[in-house]
Structure 1
Amino acid sequence: MSNKAKGKKLDEIVIDNMLISMMEKIFDPIPVPIILIGKNTEVIMINQIFADFLGYPKEQIIGKKVLDVDRNSRFPYVFKNKKAEIAWKHKFENGHTAIVHRIPVLDENGEVLYGFGMVLFQDVEEFKDIIQKNKLLESELSLYKTQLKEIQGAKYSWENIVGESEKILQAKYLAAKAAQTNSNVLLLGKSGTGKELFAHAIHNASNRSHYPFVKVNCAAIPQELLESELFGYEEGAFTGAKKGGKVGKFELANGGSIFLDEIGDMPFKMQAKLLRVLQEKEVERIGSNSPKSIDVRVIAATNQNLEELVAKGQFREDLYYRLNVMSIYIPSLQERKEDIEILAYKLLEKLSNGMGKYVKKISPKTLEYLRGHNWPGNVRELENVLERAINLTDSDTILPVHLPMYITQRTVTKGEGPLRPLKEIIEETEIEVIKRVLERTKGNKQKTAKILNISRSSLYDKIERYGLE
């Protein structure tokens, strides 16, 4: 290196040190914990109040990897994802739970230069006190509005319904058409196929999207409570009735949509009352003699065959035809296996972000097993299998060894793949173990070979064979 280059490098170091020294002078008096992380996740600067909060002298923190200071830190994930985490609840290694910011600072090429961290509230109780002082929970009315918003919001849109198979595209096409009308919609399909996703998307794509979206699971509410849940009651209507009465779900959904899930489980007596609401477009609370007009679009869903229930006398025929204006069948995962790969990767992204693990790949053999399974639990089962796999893997790739045995070691039946060869199982296990030890030794092959009790040449052969460089 030339003297000029050396001088330039030295100048940069001096400037960096001056900048850090200046930042310490600025941030140390501030009574808010602040930390600056380098691009390799080393601690560059921390103010005194943060060092005291962590329980270490500053000189013991500076230069250390952030995970060595707090093993629960999510800064490595923030650097990997390049997305800020604002007002996150975080439990530090010392037991404190706080509300924090984690912000990656990027250069003009989008690469991470630094990470900036700040503790907004040093414990959750402090956060709650601030909320109360600002009167965010001032009255029952504000709490009621918050709860109402939670039950009214339709969270999903067409983008959340993943797949390119003909059957799922046909279902989306029909649903999009239904969204442009005010007609009732009946969603049919097995459990776990995504009927609720379709209900959300239909509401969000309709002219009712700015009005409430209210969900009711007809199978989850006891029969004796279902009428009061759906239609509400007046004060004093029965023993134990709340003072002031209660607004029913249909009134809450006025102007918007109500999603009646598991409609096939609705008691026969209630079916007659629901039919009247659909015909007359009005509801009457229990204990009231004055009906109220409502404007609600009903989106119903069931995994049962309603025509069979009608034939058995278990579901009203007139109600069935009233609901079955726009009937949409949601295909099972077994009927659209060509969507499994794209679905798996979409779910993997969602789960990885939620769990804070950098799992981004699925090996070709793993995908083969996923496509070979029948998926009786549909998309919900696939999501559970992937969540389990993410918990098991120590790398960024899901391998067959991370799948449940009922998927990888199924018996040979018509239409399914063969049992796994022993050689394949051994190779996958070798790959996973070598990866794990290399990560632990930070790529030191001599230490890795010693831990695995194999020669270095044998380790190099396996690394080259499995493409683990």
Structure 2
Amino acid sequence: MDSLVEIDDDTVLTEYLVDMLHKIFDPLPVPMILIDKDSKVRMINQVFADFLGYPKSYIIGKPVAEIDKNTRFPFVLKTKKSEIAWKHKFGNGRTAIVHRIVVLDEQGEVKYAVGMVLFEDLDQFKDIIEKNKLLENEVHLYKSQLKEMYGAKYSWDTIIGNSPKMSQTKFIAKRAAQSISNVLILGESGTGKELFAHAIHNDSARNHMPFVKVNCAAIPSELLESELFGYEEGAFTGAKKGGKIGKFELANGGSIFLDEIGDMPLKMQAKLLRVLQEREFERVGGNRTVKIDLRVIAATNKDLQRLIAEGKFREDLYYRLNVMTIEIPPLRERVEDIEEITIKLMEKLSNQLGIYVPKISKKALELLKSYSWPGNVRELENVLERAINLTETDTILPIHLPLYITQNKRKIDPNSIDSLQNLLEQTEREAIKSCLEYTNGNKLKTAKILNISRTNLYSKIEKYGLE
């Protein structure tokens, strides 16, 4: 009968089995060790013995603390909790990344523990970590670039405003997102038509597929066809070898956003109509039919019905696009949203500019609400960016706003036009008053900002009763 190597009261291993374990684990390049419940070494492979600097015959049967004075195995066996990928400094001064894995029986009692050295050299571990980080960064970069090129970035949360008109617009847009129909977005420049297009795609069943954007007004008419539908090799002088895939093929399975559709040439409108009807097209210079499955989201700030009357837009294309129509209200028709939009834009611009300006005065906000905003949200963003760059505090004041906004509320009656002198004095008084508010009454600073002498400032303060 084989001699026995005792592991615990209930389990024994024959020398034959121990020998088999050594034969299995010795060839492995990973240092491994087997500890019993009494913290004694029962098996260790050759590479680990070499790492520790002892003969295997010396290690076997010894308490693990005699082999490694810094061992944590007694603690691990006591707590019954494994330790994964721990940094450990051995008694011989070497540092490595290790596993300590506890093996329990059916009753949850400790049977033994297995130790493994993952990295014998921390420099090797750091090198792998750095390479892994580099790989992750590259993958993240490629994903970001793909998302930027062919993905929708915005969602409903990006669209700010809960006024009655905007709430109604969002409701219709969300219903449109759940349909498979084409969408036509109408609205003045700067109202956020592209935001709605992104949100509609992201909320649709196609959200995992490409979202391709095309600005019909930005591409020369002679290049628009090849840009939309691609071209075959040799289709024209300068054509890329192997041809080029068009935007419609890139968007296959997803959505294509045709911005400024009202500026599309009539010739291209006819080709687009066929694509919408037949769901197929040919590349420029090719004769192979390309089948596609996508949803068209079009947008324009033009009056398409007027363009139809003028013969500049095809009526049949209009009705093909005008299935789910979303009309975005201009900012002047949703004054209730201006404060919320302003705060959100200030947060965004503060992060972009690195200038923390979280507050706006009540009077400055009232001035923003009283302005008509022909450029809509885009114009508001530009005004706030200018204001943030001008302020030296954490608050936007009227003095930081353009004159065409601060003087917007004062309307002159044509029947009682004041003298030029009086108008100049009114403007001067308002400028001094705003500057004093900005400097918290600091007259020296106010005079410096207004580029006048302190004596002159005192004189004007007295004149206009601004004390």
Q: TM-score, normalised by structure 1?
A: 0.61
Question: Which of 211, 234, 247 pairs up with 1:236?
Answer: 234
Instruction: Provide Cα deviations, 1:15-43, integer angstroms capped at 9, x if missing partner.
Output: xxxxxxxxxxxxxxxxxxxxxxxxxxxxx
Q: Post-superposition shift, 1:252?
A: 0.4
Q: Post-superposition shift, 1:432?
A: 2.6
The answer on whether the counterparts of 1:395 and 1:435 sit within 8 Å (CA) in structure 2 is no
Residue 261 of structure 1 aligns with an amino acid whose one-letter code is: D
Q: Is the partner of 1:331 in helix, strand or coil?
A: coil
Matched, 1:337 2:335: yes
Give the unaligned 5+ runs of structure 2.
Answer: 1-130, 414-422, 446-452, 456-465
Question: Which of 320, 325, 336 pairs up with 2:318?
Answer: 320
Q: Is the partner of 1:300 in helix, strand or coil?
A: strand
Task: Show structure 1 runs of 4+ deviating over 4 A.
Answer: 133-138, 142-148, 419-424, 434-439
Q: Give the Cα separation in 2 of the matches to 1:212 and 1:437.
A: 59
Partner of 2:291: 293
Partner of 2:206: 208
The answer on whether the counterparts of 1:394 and 1:436 sit within 8 Å (CA) in structure 2 is no
Q: Give the Cα separation in 2 of the matches to 1:404 and 1:378.
A: 16
Distance 1:180 1:241, change over 3 A: same
Residue 360 of structure 2 aligns with an amino acid whose one-letter code is: I
Instruction: Provide Cα deviations, 1:314-361, integer angstroms capped at 9, x if missing partner.
Output: 111111000000011000011111111111111111111111111011
Q: Give the Cα separation in 2 of the matches to 1:157 and 1:303.
A: 21
Distance 1:146 1:423, change over 3 A: closer
Question: Which of 252, 255, 260 pairs up with 1:254?
Answer: 252
The answer on whether the counterparts of 2:331 and 2:338 sit within 8 Å (CA) in structure 1 is yes
Residue 368 of structure 2 aligns with an amino acid whose one-letter code is: L
The answer on whether the counterparts of 1:157 and 1:204 sit within 8 Å (CA) in structure 2 is yes
Residue 297 of structure 2 aligns with an amino acid whose one-letter code is: I
Q: Post-superposition shift, 1:144?
A: 8.8
Q: Post-superposition shift, 1:292?
A: 1.2
Matched, 1:227 2:233: no
Q: Post-superposition shift, 1:265?
A: 0.5
Matched, 1:263 2:261: yes
Q: Give the Cα separation in 1 of the matches to 2:246 and 2:144.
A: 17
Partner of 2:403: 405
Q: Give the Cα separation in 1 of the matches to 2:137 and 2:438.
A: 50
Question: Which of 305, 308, 318 pairs up with 2:306?
Answer: 308
Residue 431 of structure 1 aligns with an amino acid whose one-letter code is: E
Distance 1:344 1:200, change over 3 A: same
Q: Post-superposition shift, 1:414?
A: 8.6
The answer on whether the counterparts of 1:250 and 1:283 sit within 8 Å (CA) in structure 2 is no
Distance 1:229 1:143, change over 3 A: farther
Q: Post-superposition shift, 1:425?
A: 3.5
Q: Give the Cα separation in 2 of the matches to 1:177 and 1:249.
A: 26
Q: Give the Cα separation in 2 of the matches to 1:437 and 1:212.
A: 59
Partner of 2:197: 199
280-289 or 264-273, larger mean C-alpha shift = 280-289
The answer on whether the counterparts of 2:346 and 2:384 sit within 8 Å (CA) in structure 1 is yes
Partner of 1:217: 215
Give the unaligned 5+ runs of structure 1.
Answer: 1-129, 440-451, 455-464
Alignment of 1:19-168 (within 5 A): 148-168=146-166
Q: Give the Cα separation in 2 of the matches to 1:409 and 1:387.
A: 19
Residue 330 of structure 2 aligns with an amino acid whose one-letter code is: S
Partner of 2:434: 428
Distance 1:145 1:229, change over 3 A: farther
Q: Give the Cα separation in 2 of the matches to 1:436 and 1:394.
A: 14
Matched, 1:186 2:184: yes
Residue 426 of structure 1 aligns with an amino acid whose one-letter code is: I
Q: Is the partner of 1:224 in helix, strand or coil?
A: helix
- The count of residues paired between Structure 1 and Structure 2 equals 311
Instruction: Provide Cα deviations, 1:384-428, integer angstroms capped at 9, x if missing partner.
Output: 00000000000000000000011112373399xxx9775554333
**TM-align CA RMSD:** 3.3
Distance 1:145 1:402, change over 3 A: closer
Q: Give the Cα separation in 2 of the matches to 1:224 and 1:385.
A: 37
Q: Is the partner of 1:233 in helix, strand or coil?
A: coil
Partner of 1:368: 366
Q: Give the Cα separation in 2 of the matches to 1:194 and 1:286.
A: 33
Partner of 1:5: none
Partner of 2:171: 173
Q: Post-superposition shift, 1:164?
A: 1.5
Q: Give the Cα separation in 1 of the matches to 2:138 and 2:162.
A: 46
The answer on whether the counterparts of 1:277 and 1:283 sit within 8 Å (CA) in structure 2 is yes
Distance 1:172 1:137, change over 3 A: closer
Q: Post-superposition shift, 1:434?
A: 4.8
The answer on whether the counterparts of 2:444 and 2:454 sit within 8 Å (CA) in structure 1 is no
Distance 1:389 1:287, change over 3 A: same
Q: Give the Cα separation in 2 of the matches to 1:346 and 1:365.
A: 18
Q: Post-superposition shift, 1:136?
A: 8.6
Distance 1:389 1:146, change over 3 A: closer
Q: Give the Cα separation in 1 of the matches to 2:356 and 2:137.
A: 37
Instruction: Provide Cα deviations, 1:254-300, integer angstroms capped at 9, x if missing partner.
Output: 11111000000000000010011101111211111111111110000
Q: Is the partner of 1:247 in helix, strand or coil?
A: coil
Q: Give the Cα separation in 1 of the matches to 2:178 and 2:164.
A: 22
Residue 379 of structure 1 aligns with an amino acid whose one-letter code is: V
Partner of 2:377: 379
Partner of 1:13: none
Q: Is the partner of 2:184 in helix, strand or coil?
A: strand
Q: Give the Cα separation in 2 of the matches to 1:162 and 1:145.
A: 27
